[in-house]
Amino acid sequence: MPVEVTMPQLGESTYEGTIGKWLKQPGDQVERFEPLVEIITDKVNVEMPAPFGGTLTAVLVAEGATVNVGTPIAMMETSGAVAAAADVRPAGAPPPPPEDGDGERARLSPVVRRLAEEHGLALDEIAGLPGSGAGGRLTKDDLLKYLERRAGGSARPAAAVTAAPRPPAPPGTVVPAPSRPFPPPAAPSGTDDEVVKLSPLRRSIAQRMAQSKREIPHAYGVIEADVTMLTRWREANKEQWRAREGVNITLTAFFIKAAAEAIKVFPMVNSAWTDDGILMRKAINIGVGIALDEGLIVAVVKHADQKSLVGVARDLDGLGRRARDGKLTLEDVQGGTFTITNPGVFGSIWSMPIVVPGQAAILATDAVVKRPVVRGEGIAVRDIMHLGLSFDHRIFDGAVAVQFLNRLKAKLEGFPGGDAALTDF
Amino acid sequence: MADLRYIDAINQAHHEEFARDERVVVLGEDVGRKGGVFGATAGLLEKYGEGRVIDSPLAESSIAGVAIGMAANGLLPIAEFQFADFIHPAFNQIVSEAARMRYRSHNAFGCPVVFRTPFGGAHGTALYHSQSIEAFYAHVPGLKVVVPSTPADAKGLFKAAVRDPDPVMFLEHKRMYRIVKGPVPDGDHVVPIGPAVVRRAGTGLSVFAYGWMLHEALAVAEELAPEGISMEVVDVRTLAPLDTDTVLKSVAKTSRALVIYEDNRFCGYGAEIAALIAEEAFYDLDAPVVRLAGPDVPGIPYSKPLEEWFFTDRAKIAAAVRALAGL
């Protein structure tokens, strides 16, 4: 019997994928779980195993094309019962999210659905509107206001038609601030402006960051750490370490180790908000932002608390290499419980990052800068950095955030350096 | 129009109905010489004598049974039960006899009895003087159940109940007797059994309540208005038959519903309103229907802190309203 093969959901927040390369051609016999097609998503490139055994009869999506998750990409001919019994999820893919799971599927109240239908609004259109209800839920009032604005012509036209260029405001008039939802800026109209198509990665970042800022009440704490001893020790020894361990022991590795220790003392930092309560995560899996040309990707050092400094550095090295080669696996990017972002490498001295949805906090490690500081009665030149924590204020308060940061600071500052071994950190 | 206390409006209604129709009689414990445990029947014995104002033995089943017999023989009896807590022995008479009379007799006989009783918790009235019993009786086809919440309604609905050709459970929240005061129309003021009434119009969410809870809800509505929460407060006042139109119209307007009742939450009367809204107004809802009611323990405790824990007070109502408004 003929069956459809659909674009799988690869990763927690992907909703589209690009066909990289068809590994089988129409007419080919395919074993179940045999690699069928290479798929590129915002996060990873994977070979999708055939969900059924049988014959590939048609390829529906050409190489290079991007389609939404769930879109049929190929047809196969299977032998009856097998298909029915087959697990249609590709091996390795996460189970489908529960119906009202994590917000990927819009949760709309009955009255909102009814009004949408009465006004001919596609659910997709309204699902993206910012809501004033709990967790950003779209309420009846939100929708009515949207309809009003829409009728008034200030909102986006329902269908993607070419928008008429806006008449320029007469000189001296104040252009009103956009009300929610933000109307998109006018399409290019004879200027040199151009629209850059969103890459899957960009789109995913946009969606996740907007979701976080919408749902998570962010609060921030920043403290100063004197890492002179640590940087001196590292500068003095890093070549020797590299020769011996075969890997660069970066400052980030120290931060991860120190953060994992501080989390053990303040486990609340390693949690997640749910409507039923605060989900305390037992594993300490620390995500690390890796900047690529296409955008930021977060790779995860698993069980950071159980690894040595060298082990963490090795993980970081491997993740960084795979990220740059586009070879990250799903395993590499999933399961993070806390995140460290390192804007310091670009010279930022004070950053306020956005919490990754599903986590409680994110640590920003800013640039180490030489500064004159008061020590005793004198002024000394020391290596100073800022440690900043953005956190979900629903879960804990500033006291916990700053105690966590102080613990981190104590670890980084308290290290004597000198002829200590790496394993002493 | 005079400002009367709730209990005085009930008493006035008795006097007017006694004067209007000589078939009206009252029986119950201490209704005669004492004038009723709360004073609802004060002055009747002196005016109308022992033939129409009857002090009964301490036997609720017989109060109900005798009243049913009187009704079958052409009188219009008012059966008073001192506290709703004591009405349970009469359950069989009320449910199996009075409620089914018309049905059982193929519409040949009605049973025009008013079963009057104070219900609900007041300060320190504990297990034997605090019960809410409305859900037991609202469940029974053939009984009308009214819970007037203002002095004017107490008078008007009482008159309607006396004149109704079928049995009516007339429930008075005892905490209101001397606390709730209001204007009561003079003369033959009758409020029909059935229609609910919107006591306070609003747009943000609908609150459905009756008895003392209605007054608490109105107070909360006043308290929360400055926060921008616009509560519509609906006085259900007739529990059976329920005015479904008014309920549904209100939900269509506000899209959010909170049902409050003092009784234990499980299978309480408010569950029926919540179910009605879920079934009939689903596509008007912007948030789940919420019930706020007493905890499921066997009675209102005597201990003051535990009594407070049991009671649905203004703070609990305000919290529920804020939560629902913020969904």
Largest CA distance in chain A: 85
According to the model, what pLDDT value does residue B62 have? 98
Backbone phi and psi for residue B188, each to the nearest 5 degrees, phi listed first: -80, 75
Mean pLDDT value of segment A21-34: 88
Contacts of A225 (CB under 8 A, 6+ apart): A384, A385, A386, A387, A408, A409, A412, A413
Which positions of B are catalytic?
A: 129
> What DSSP string runs through B11-60?
HHHHHHHHHH-TTEEEEETTSSSS--SSSTTTTHHHHH-TTTEEEPPS-H
State both tokens at B167: 């049995």
**A108-122, B16-30, B284-298: lowest mean pLDDT where?**
A108-122
Looking at residue A134, what is its pLDDT? 82
Q: Cα separation of A309 and A415, whole Å?
A: 14
Out of B283, B284, B327, the one facing A133 most closely (by C-beta) is B327
Q: Which of A99, A80, A86 is nearest to A50 (CA)?
A: A86
Quote the minimal CA–CA distance from A292 to chain B in Å: 39
CB B291 within 8 A of CB B196: no
Picking from A262, A308, A256, A314, the residue whose alpha carbon sits closest to that of residue A285 is: A256
**A168 and A189 in contact (C-beta within 8 Å)?**
no
Residues of A near B (CB-CB distance < 8 A)? 109-114, 133-134, 137, 139-141
* pLDDT average, residue stretch A66-79: 85
What whole-number percentage of chain B has pLDDT above 90?
A: 98
Residues of chain B contacting residue A111, judged by C-beta atoms under 8 Å apart: 255, 283-286
Please, are residues A225 and A413 in contact by the beta-carbon 8 Å criterion? yes
> What DSSP state is assigned to residue B186?
S
User: What's the pLDDT score for residue B77?
Assistant: 98
Cβ burial of B240 (10 Å; 0-12, 13-18, 19+) is buried
User: CA of B261: how far to CAs of A42, A324, B314, in Å?
Assistant: 53, 63, 13
User: Is A133's pLDDT higher than 60?
Assistant: yes
Task: Name the residue of chain B whose CA is nearest to A142's CA.
Answer: B286
pLDDT > 60? residue A176: no
Q: What are phi and psi of B204, to 5 degrees?
A: -85, -45
The string of pLDDT tens digits covering residues B216-269 is 999 999 999 999 999 999 999 999 999 999 999 999 999 999 999 999 999 999
Q: What is the mean pLDDT of residues B108-118?
A: 97
Q: What is the pTM of this model?
A: 0.54
Chain B residues touching A133 at Cβ < 8 A: 286-287, 326-327
Average pLDDT over residues B199-228: 97
Cα angle, residue B54 at apex, residues B51 and B55 outer, rounded to 5°: 145
Model confidence pLDDT, tens digit, residues B39-87: 999 999 999 999 999 999 999 999 999 999 999 999 999 999 999 999 9
Q: Helix, strand, or coil here: B203?
A: coil
* Test mutation, A100, A108, A109, chain B, max B CBs within 10 A: A109
Query: What average pLDDT is seen over chain A?
Result: 83
- Distances B89 to A335, B59, B95, B98, B128 between C-alpha atoms, Å: 63, 8, 11, 14, 14
B142: which DSSP letter? T
Find the length of chain A.
Answer: 425
Distance (Å, whole) CA A411 – CA B226: 50
Interface size between A and B, measured as CB pairs under 8 A: 31
pLDDT for residue B296: 97
pLDDT tens digits, one per residue of A249-293: 999 999 999 999 999 999 999 999 998 899 999 999 999 999 888
Angle separating helix axes A228-245 and A251-265, nearest 10 degrees: 110
Query: What are B164-199's pLDDT values in tens digits?
Result: 999 999 999 999 999 999 999 999 999 999 999 999
- What is the C-alpha R_g of chain B? 19
The answer to whether residue A397 is catalytic is yes
Mention every residue, 6+ apart, whose C-beta is less than 8 A from residue B77: B24, B25, B26, B27, B66, B67, B70, B71, B112, B113, B114
d(CA B171, CA B163): 16
In the block, residue with structure tokens 């980084």: A412
Is a pLDDT exceeding 70 seen at residue A84? no
HSE of B178, CA atoms in CB hemisphere, 13 A: 4
- Measured CB to CB, residues of chain B less than 8 Å from chain A are 255, 282-287, 326-327
Helix residue ranges, H only, B49-145: 60-72, 91-92, 101-104, 134-138
Helix (H, G, I), strand (E, B) or coil at B254: helix
Nearest C-alpha neighbor of B254 from the set A146, A113, A139: A139
Extract long-range pairs of B102-108: CB within 8 Å, 24+ residues apart: B102/B142, B102/B166, B103/B141, B103/B142
Does the pLDDT value for residue A49 go beyond 70? yes
Domain annotation for chain B: domains and CATH numbers = 2-184 (3.40.50.970), 197-326 (3.40.50.920)
Which percentage of chain A shows pLDDT scores above 70? 83
Spatial contact of B163 and B20, defined as CB atoms under 8 Å apart: no
pLDDT for B69 equals 97
Helix (H) or strand (E) holding B161: helix B151-163
Mark yes or no for CB contact B286/A114 under 8 Å.
no
CB contact under 8 A, A140 and B283: no
Cis peptide before A95 (omega within 30 of 0): no
Of the candidates B282, B286, B327, which has its C-beta nearest A112's C-beta?
B286
The tokens for A260 are 């994992």
Confidence of residue A175 (pLDDT cuts 50, 70, 90): very low
Contacting residues for A85 by C-beta, under 8 A, at least 6 apart: none
CA terminus-to-terminus distance, chain B: 43
> Residue A134 and residue B282: Cβ atoms within 8 Å?
no
Segment A208-238, tens digit of pLDDT: 899 999 999 999 999 999 999 999 999 999 8
Structural domains of chain A sorted by starting position, each given as residue range(s) with its CATH number in brackets: 2-85 (2.40.50.100), 107-157 (4.10.320.10), 218-424 (3.30.559.10)
DSSP B133: -
**Chain B residues close to A110, C-beta within 8 Å:** 282-286
CA distance A171 to A184: 22
Instruction: State how far the Cα of B167 lies from the Cα of B141, in Å rounded to an integer.
Output: 11
The band of A92, judged by pLDDT with boundaries at 50, 70 and 90, is very low
Test B255 with A114 for CB contact under 8 angstroms. Answer: no
What is the average pLDDT across A317-322? 93
**What share of chain A has pLDDT > 90, as a percent?**
42
Nearest to B282 among A110, A133, A139 (CB): A110
Contact (CB<8Å) B284/A114: yes
Residue B310 is inside which H or E element, if any? Answer: helix B304-310
* Closest residue in chain B to residue A118, using alpha carbons only: B283
Shortest CA distance to A396 belongs to which of A219, A164, A135?
A: A219
Distance (Å, whole) CA A315 – CA B111 = 85
Q: Give the nearest chain B residue to A136 (CA atoms).
A: B327
Mean local confidence (pLDDT), B16-40: 97
Rounded Cα distance between B13 and B158, Å, is 7
Q: What is the DSSP letter of B106?
A: T
Looking at residue A202, its pLDDT comes to 87
Give pLDDT, residue A187.
Answer: 59
**Pairwise CB contact (< 8 Å): A111 & B255:** yes
Query: Is there a contact between B286 and A113 if contact means CB atoms under 8 Å apart?
Result: no
- Look at residue A320 in the predicted model and tell me its pLDDT: 93
Look up residue B162 and give its DSSP letter. H
Tell me if the bond preceding B241 is cis, omega within 30° of 0: yes
For this complex, say whether ipTM is above 0.85.
no
Under an 8 A CB cutoff, do A109 and B326 touch? no
